[in-house]
Amino acid sequence: MSQGKLLYAQSGGVTAVINATASAVISTARAAGVKAYAARNGILGALREDLIDTSKEPIAAIRALAHTPGGAFGSCRFKLKAIEADRARYQRLIEVFAAHDIRWFLYNGGNDSADTANKVSQVAREFGYPLTCVGVPKTVDNDLAVTDCCPGFGSAAKYTAVSLREAALDVASMAESSTKVFVLEVMGRHAGWLAAAAGLAGRGPDEAPHLILFPEVPFDEATFLARVDDTVKRVGWCAVAVSEGLRDADGRFLADAGTVDAFGHTQLGGVGPAIAQLVKAKLGYKQHWAVPDYLQRSARHLASKTDLDHALAVGEAAVKFALAGKNAHMPVIIRTSDSPYRWKIEPAPLAKIANHEKKLPKNFISRDGYGITEAARAYLEPLIRGEAPPPYGKDGLPKYVTLKNAAVVRKLPAFDLADG
């Protein structure tokens, strides 16, 4: 083993393929002769000195991570503040890294995680500690800047499009005497990437989804209700996809729960049933709604092969970039061709990614604001292509793996997060 260890951590909402990235990280580190630790529950584990020795896991278990959803080492929503405001916590991180000879830190997450990795790199430099920090992209929201797409999105997009198509067939079957309007709520706080993905379920005005409600397009109740009514009268039923981040003309979330998460983001939920109830109250149609919530980000059985390939590639590249000294960078996906679909991995500075948000481009939304364009299809379709099913057991269920997650012996006094 070479001198120094690598520490990998998962952050934020997990995806169907984040463990595939973990698998690639650990396998690539092993091949390079570098011992890899993981932080239990993300940055919280690093602060608590709650580390996992992945060398205790057999290679078969590490490989099986590639087809196992969830976050194998635990994730968290915990945002470090500015360096001066959170200096005690940053100092604690450096102390933990030094105690365990951590020389490479890989943080797998979205916008806030990229910001954390960037700040840790700055603190290490200030303290004179030899540390290379690399952010690793992951988010079903697909809103990271610079990268063409984010690992995790393609599989969630595939699940969304397939679910909408299948539900639409159900609704169409029952519309004569039962449900007339079906509403599917999808994730997406500020960016309507998953809402757009629902549009892949059909083509043309008479195919579901008939209407998509994007967070980028202010909600107009009267226009929406008129479109629903027209669709039901023309087609016999109507399917609607709505983003959880839908806003009114004043910029207010329609589904603001009145609370915020650990990253300071408004907690959303309930826009699907709210839209369905609006249809019932104003138009009188029988309606049904569905909120897949965690299902859309954990459905490994319906993962996109393209997405899996992306997840593995960024994990391998993250380790190689780290060992090459690419401090404060992230491996990003660069699309070189739509047809045939081609891509490559390149390093990008975390400063250009952290706290930046990539919205759905205007040219991806149809002129009427309720559908997607051919440009959107050209972008989205390659990301959901290909199947990568997990192995199944005799019980008919997927064979997922649970790691030992053997703890590394602590060397420092306990740290109270409240004191940070």
Residues carrying an active site annotation:
141
Contact present, 346 and 162 (Cβ < 8 Å): no
For 261-359, strand residue ranges (E) read 266-268, 287-290, 329-337, 342-349
The answer to whether the beta carbons of residues 210 and 239 sit under 8 Å apart is yes
Adjacency order of strands within the sheet including 238-243: 211-213, 238-243, 181-186, 287-290
Q: Is-contact 47 415, C-beta < 8 A? A: yes
Residue 392 is given by DSSP the state B
Name the one residue in this structure whose structure tokens are 């997009």. Answer: 157
What is the C-alpha separation between 58 and 33, in angstroms, rounded?
15
Separation CA 117–CA 79 (nearest Å): 11
- Of the candidates 157, 243, 172, 173, the residue with the CA atom closest to the CA atom of residue 207: 172
CA distances from 102 to 2, 4, 48, 88, 420 (A): 12, 6, 15, 19, 21
DSSP-derived secondary structure letter, 401: -
Residue matched to tokens 């559908």: 371
Measured in whole angstroms, the distance separating CA 321 from the mean position of its chain's CA atoms is: 22
- Token pair 């709650």: residue: 50
- 51-53 and 35-39 as β-strands: parallel, antiparallel, unpaired? antiparallel
> Residue 311: which residues within 8 A CB-CB, separation 6 or more?
15, 17, 18, 20, 21, 24, 138, 151, 152
d(CA 155, CA 153): 6
According to DSSP, the residues that pair with 185 across neighbouring strands are 242
